[in-house]
Structure 1
């Protein structure tokens, strides 16, 4: 399953990290899927990102989830080394 995300740096310092690390897709049944690596035709896969304050980057993340679960899901990110978390709903 491929999910397109836009990352916007709303902080006051440069964001320099790999946002795919720590991402999990959670389907409506509570099943967790981690991001995987592989080629996609739908866009450029997130790897390392550098974004100045106010900048945004758009990319795709590939998850090992069956495509039938694309209607409702959420994504949870936990950056253990930086104590940051985030959550997104997939409409």
Structure 2
């Protein structure tokens, strides 16, 4: 027969386990760009005053910036650069067009494997674009005149890189606000994010 003390201890242990699970689960969004060698050099003697002002307002990644993204496995890591945005983007053939009331938006990514494991994925699976209202849009299959599409089957050994466009279909009236990239077809716990405006 259980006593009240045993029941209280069992309940406290169960509540503690639930609290621990809630604290350790979840995803993170990284929107701070990787510091380049030229940016480090700018923080020398002459830039001491500017550095103080910049640290008051943290920098958010924008077009042209690189973010280090981590995958689910140890040693799985990419430096992801949002190179360019084509908005609106034009289809490269006469047969592919966005649905009525929508437009294509192209985002060019550069991926560099900075990890210790081979990266193999379809990068478009982990890419999303969002508008200023918070609506999120996944990638679509389309080739655009801005340049070659990102391969749907990228395999990169450590140190190797890939470059290509990922296309999204967005309502004509939507103002694009952010682009996100998540490794492992969108299943990694860490998401890289760039602000477009």
Q: Which has the higher contact order (CA 8 A, sep 6+)?
A: 1
Task: Tell me the secondary structure at the aligned position of residue 191 of structure 2.
Answer: strand
1:58 matched residue in structure 2:
163
Task: Tell me the secondary structure at the aligned position of residue 123 of structure 2.
Answer: coil
CA RMSD of aligned residues (A): 2.4
- Structure 2 segments unaligned to the other structure (5+ residues): 1-104
Q: Number of residue pairs matched?
A: 90
Report the TM-score when normalising by structure 1.
Answer: 0.79
Structure holding more strand per residue: 1
1:3-42, aligned counterparts within 5 Å? 3-42=107-146
Task: Tell me the secondary structure at the aligned position of residue 29 of structure 1.
Answer: coil
- Measured in 1, the distance between the counterparts of 2:165 and 2:192 equals 16
Task: Tell me the secondary structure at the aligned position of residue 170 of structure 2.
Answer: coil
- Per-residue CA shift, 1:10-37, capped at 9, x if unaligned? 1101111111113211222211001000
- Structure 1 segments unaligned to the other structure (5+ residues): none
- Measured in 2, the distance between the counterparts of 1:11 and 1:79 equals 14
Task: Tell me the secondary structure at the aligned position of residue 26 of structure 1.
Answer: strand
Report the TM-score when normalising by structure 2.
Answer: 0.40
Higher Rg: 2
